[in-house]
Structure 1
Amino acid sequence: MADNTVASVLAGLRRFPDVEAPNLQAWDATDKLLLETASELLTPESRIAVIGDRYGALTLGALAGYGVRDVKVHQDLITGERALRNNAAGLGIDAGFEQLPLGAALFDDADVVLLQLPRTLAELEEAADAVARYAAPDTVLLAGGRIKHMSLGMNSVLQRYFNDVQPQLARQKSRVLIARDAKPVTGPPPFPVADSNSELDLTVCARGAVFAGTKLDIGTRFLLRYVPDMPSVPHVVDLGCGTGILAAMYARIHPESNVTATDQSAAAVDSARATAEANGLAGQITVLQDDAMDSLPDGSAGLILLNPPFHLGASVHAGAGIKMFRAAGRVLAPGGELWTVYNSHLQYLPALERFVGPTRVAGRNAKFTVAVSTPRAA
C-alpha cells in the first residue's frame, strides 16, 4: 500500500517554477530508494529531517506514503522550495512539513535524516557536520545518490563525522549510505570559508554548496576583463551571483553604483553577502535570493552581469540560461546592457537576440564568448 502511495506521489510531482521539459523529471530513482530504505525505520511518530529534497519527493513521499506527521526540510534552491509547496498543494497535503535553513532547528528531535547526496564533497561535509553537530547522537542518516555521481571520497567524508558508515547494495543505479553514531563535534562549523584571492586582491567567501567554492572560475575570470569597459549606472544586477565576485569587482571599480547580487541558491546568497562584508562593500551591494529576478521591477537595471549555468542538476540543458535571458529582457532599462559570458559551443547569440535584443560579441577566447545585449525598443 505504501509503495503504491509513494508511486502516486512521485507521478504527480512537477518541477515548476524551475525549468520544465520532457527530458527533465521532478524525481529520480534515488528518491524512491531512500524512501524504501527509510521505511524500515519510519513510524507515524518519526520525526524526519530532509536535506536536498529537489522538488518534494522525499518530504511528500514520507508524509503521504508512510504516515509521518513531522518533516523538516532544507532546500538550497528557492525554486525547490516553491516547487515543494506547489506539489504539496497539488497533492492536497496542506500540513506536516516545515522549510528551514541548514541549522539546529532543522534537526530538532529528528530520529532519521534523509539526504540526497550533493555533487561536491564540500557540500556533503557541510551537511554531515550539521547532522553530527545538531542532531541527537542516535539519529540515523540515510544518504543516497546515483552511482555514477558517487565516489569513495563521500564515504570518507561521512566517516569523519560518524563511527559507523555502511554502504548498501545498489539498486536501480542508485545506492544508499547509512551513517550512525555521530562523533562529537567541537569548534566552529567548517563553512563558510574565506580565502584571499591575490589575483583580484579580494577576499572570497563560500559555503559548501556554491559552485567553484572560493576559486575564481574561468568564465568569470574572462568576463572580469571587461568590467572597466562596462557603463557606470545607478543600478547593476549580478544575476546568478555565486560567491559575489563579479558584484564585488564591479562595485569596487564603479563606487557610485548600487549593485544587487542575486541567486536562487541560499548558499550562494550567504556567500555573496559574506564576500561583500569581507571587502568593505556591504553598503554598496544588496544580496537577494530570488528566482531569475522575479522580485525586481521591469526596466529597473541599467546593467546586468551574467555567467549562466549550462547544467540543470546532472543534465546539460540550455533552459536555465534561456530563463535568465528572458528575465534580463524584462528587467533591463531602456538603453541598458546585458553582459553575458558563456561557453562558446552553446551558441547563445540567437537566444540573446530573441529574448533581449540586438547583441554584439565583445570578446572571445578558445572557450568562452562575451556578448553584450541591449533591450529591443518597445
Structure 2
Amino acid sequence: MTPEAAYDAIHDRLSRWPDVETHDLVAADQSDRLILAEAGEIPGEVAIVGDRYGALALSILTAAPETRIRMHQDPITGERALANNAAELGIDLAGVTWHGLDASLAGGAGLVIGQLPRGLGALDEIAGVVADHADPAVRMVFGGRVKHMTPSMNDVLRVHFGDVRASRGVGKSRALHAASPVRGAGDPWPRRADHDGLALVAHGAAFAGTDLDVGTRFLLTFLDRIPSVAAAIDLGCGTGAISASYALANPEARVIATDRSAAAAASAEKTMAANGVEARVSVVRDDGLGSQPDGSADLVLLNPPFHSGNAVTDEIAPRLFADAARVLRPGGELWVVWNSHLRYRPQLERLVGETRQIGRNATFTVTASQRG
C-alpha cells in the first residue's frame, strides 16, 4: 500500500479533537494526499512539519509502520489530535518523535514534507532550518490549498533553495518542491522590534510577528485601569505583549502567559527576557488553560483568536471564556478585547458573570467580566 492509498483508507476516520470541530472544519483534505503523492518514495526516516491532525504521518505509518518520523506541529492541539487519531486507528507511534523547529528536527534529513503555513515568516523560518541542517541532497515538499497559496511563497523558498518548482494543481491543491539548499541564507529568527519601551521578539509563525496588533494595542490603552493583582494570566499570549506590559506595570504580580502555539510560547519567553520580567512571568504551552487549577487566578487577560488554521470560526472564544471562568477565583475578572461585530457580551455574561464595557472604538470593544 502506498501512503496515498493509505490516506484514502483513513481520512474519513480522522478527527480534529481536541481542536474545534464543526461541520465545515475538516481534519484532512486533498492537499494532504497530494503532498504524499508528490513526495514519491518515502525513506526509512522522514521529517514532517505542520501535519495538522496527523493525516500525513498516519498515512505513512499505515503504509509502512516501521518508518521513523520526526515531527514539528506548532499547535499543541495538533500533537494531541495526532495521538488521538493514532489510538483510534490502532497505529503505533513508537517511531514518532516531536521536535522544536531546529536542528533536532531537520538534521541530516533527506526528505522533509508538510503543509504550507499561513504566513511567509513561518515559511521562511522553516525553509531556513531545513536548508541549514538537512542533508545537502534534501527534498522539501510542502503543499496546500491553492486559495491559500501565493507566488511570494516561491520567492521565500528561493532564498534558501537553488531549485524551486510547483506541481500541477490537483483537487484545488498544489505542492511546492525545493532542493539544492543554500546554507546561511536569509535573516535569522527570532526577530525583535521595540514599541515605546516594550520589546517584542517573534518567531516566524507567531501571530502579528514583531508588530503590536491593533486589538492588543487598544486593550493596553486601559492598562492603568486593569486591576493590580497577585496572580494574573495572559491567555492566548502570542508574543507576550500583554503579559510583559502587565508585569512591567505591576512589579508585585506573578503572571502566567499561555498559548497553544510553540512559536508563540518560544517568542513570549524571549519577549519576557527582553523586557527583564522573565523572573515573574512563566510561559506555558497549553490548550487553553488546561493545566491551570480551578480558582487559581485573580485576573485573566485575553485577546481571543478567531482563526483555526486557515479557517475563520467563532467557536474558539467561548471555549476560552469558559476556561477563564473555571480558573478565576470568585470576584476575579476576565478582561477581553474583541471585534465589536462578534457581539461576545451575552456569552461573557452567561459563561463568566456580570460584564461591563470598558471602552469601544470603531473596531474593538474592551470588556471586564467578574466571576460570581
Q: How does 1:277-356 map to 2 (within 5 A)?
A: 277-356=273-352
Partners of 2:91 and 2:108 lie apart in 1 by 22
One-letter amino acid matched to 1:236 = A
> Deviations along 1:198-245, whole A, 9 cap, x unmatched?
3xx111100000011010100001100111101111100000001101
- Please give the alpha-carbon distance, in whole angstroms, between the structure 1 residues aligned to 2:256 and 2:106: 32
C-alpha distance in 2, partners of 1:13/1:73? 18
Partner of 2:85: 87
* Bigger Cα displacement from structure 2, 65-74 vs 364-373: 65-74
Partner of 2:63 in structure 1?
65
Note closer, same or farther for the CA distance 1:96–1:234 as it changes in structure 2 (3 Å cut): same
- 1:29 is matched with 30
- For 2:371, what is the secondary structure of its paired residue? coil
**TM-score with structure 1 length normalisation?**
0.95
1:265 aligns with 2:240: no
TM-score of the aligned structures, taking structure 2 as reference length: 0.96
CA distance in 1, matches of 2:316, 2:63: 32
Shift of 1:186: 6.4
SS of 1:295 mapped into structure 2: coil
Q: Work out whether residues 110 and 135 of structure 2, in 8 Å CA contact, stay in contact via their aligned partners in 1.
A: yes
Instruction: After superposition, give the CA deviation of every residue in 1:129-174 in whole Å (9 maximum; x if it has no partner).
Output: 0000110010100011111111111101111111111111011111
What pairs with 1:1-378 in structure 2 (closer than 5 Å)? 1-2=1-2, 3-38=4-39, 40-42=40-42, 45-66=43-64, 69-94=67-92, 95-185=94-184, 190-198=188-196, 201-376=197-372
Amino acid at match of 1:194: R
**Letter of the aligned partner of 2:96 in structure 1?**
F
- Is the CA contact 1:47–1:109 (under 8 Å) kept in the aligned structure 2? no
What is the deviation of 1:66? 4.7
Gapped runs of 5+ residues in structure 1?
Answer: none
Q: Conserved in 2, the CA contact under 8 Å of 1:62 and 1:68?
A: no
Helix, strand or coil at the partner of 1:137: coil
Quote how far apart the aligned CAs of 1:67 are: 5.0
Q: Provide, for residues 48-91 of structure 1, a one-character-per-residue CA deviation record: whole Å limited to 9, x for no partner.
A: 10001111111111111355611111001111111111111111
Distance 2:203 2:214 in 1: 19
Q: Distance in 1 between matches of 2:6 and 2:114?
A: 21
Structure 2: gaps spanning 5 or more residues:
none
Separation of aligned partners in 2, 1:371 and 1:23: 30
SS in 1 for 2:175: strand
Q: What displacement does 1:115 show?
A: 2.0
Mapped to 2, the partners of 1:216 and 1:108 lie a distance apart of 34
SS class of match (2:269) = helix
Map Cα deviations across residues 315-340 of structure 1 (whole Å, 9 max, x no partner).
21111111101101100111000000
**1:5 to partner: Cα distance:** 2.5
Residues 158, 179 of structure 1: 8 Å contact kept? yes
Give yes or no for contact 1:31–1:57 (8 Å, CA) kept in 2: yes
The number of equivalent residue pairs is 370
Cα deviation, residue 311, structure 1: 1.2
CA distance in 2, matches of 1:282, 1:368: 30
Q: C-alpha distance in 2, partners of 1:83/1:195?
A: 34
Cα 1:116–1:68 shift into 2, 3 Å:
farther
Is residue 190–residue 267 contact of structure 2 (8 Å, CA) maintained in 1? Answer: yes
Alignment partners' CA distance in 1, 2:52 and 2:274:
31
Amino acid across the alignment from 1:54: R
Distance 2:125 2:98 in 1: 18
Residue identity opposite 2:228 in structure 1: S
Give the partner amino acid of 1:291. Answer: D
**Cα distance, 1:110 vs structure 2:** 2.3
Once the two structures are TM-superposed, the CA of residue 312 in structure 1 deviates from its matched residue by 1.3
3-state DSSP of counterpart to 2:293: coil
- SS of the equivalent of 2:70 reads strand
Q: Is the 8 A contact 1:302 1:337 kept in 2?
A: yes
SS of structure 2 residue aligned to 1:125: helix
* Change in CA separation of 1:157 and 1:186 when aligned onto 2, cut-off 3 Å: closer
The verdict on how the C-alpha distance between 1:68 and 1:169 changes in structure 2, with shifts beyond 3 A counting, is farther
RMSD (Å) for aligned C-alpha atoms = 1.4
